[in-house]
Amino acid sequence: MKKSERAELVLHRLTELYPDPPIPLDHTNEFTLLVAVLLSAQCTDKKVNEVTPALFRLASTPQKMAKVPVAKILEIIRPCGLSPRKSKAISELSKIIIKQFDGKVPQNLDDLESLPGVGHKTASVVMAQAFGVPAFPVDTHIHRLAQRWGLTNGKNVKQTEADLKKLFPSETWNKLHLQIIFYGREYCSARGCDGTKCQICRECYPKRKKPKLTIKA
């Protein structure tokens, strides 16, 4: 099976399973989504969704968040990993958004990536989910599945992102990255599948007998 055929199979199967995948992080506006995605680094979406209601009741806009002491933000988000660094970043980016972007979350990758604590993946998620701009955020889970399905041989998430963007039409990217995440959690997790067990892995490589080792992102 050619790579393009595997890509077509993946898209078809994921669309069947997840025709309208929800955004897994609870939010009410672009700013709360940005904060939630920032918090999700090295933390589960479930834990983020447990933590953010208290934070967003306190401050759901940059203007309100900028007035909250860093120590208070830290107190609320402590259950998330890297909380000291994240609390400082949330405070600082709120002030920068007010000062440099008229109090609104910027709508382009370069400006988003200039904010404290916001890397390429976080910026891509915000572009895709808040503004509907085609983007393909790649985390370690998508990186793992893309390798298992023979869609990339990239040694890092940057190369995997480039390969996936070449394989799939841009109008599918925003939904597809969520579909892959949901599939990875439900059927093709790091421990639950080794590249030979789940439906898509078996269909992509029916003759594969040995586990597919993932090149770490």
Sequence-ordered list of residues with C-beta below 8 angstroms from that of 114, at least 6 positions apart, any chain: none
Token pair for 190: 């790091």
Closest CA to 21 of 129, 122, 171: 129
Sequence-ordered list of residues with C-beta below 8 angstroms from that of 53, at least 6 positions apart, any chain: 26
Query: How far apart (Å, rounded) are the C-alpha atoms in residues 202 and 148?
Result: 10
- Residue positions annotated with a catalytic role: 121, 139
Read off the DSSP letter of residue 20: S
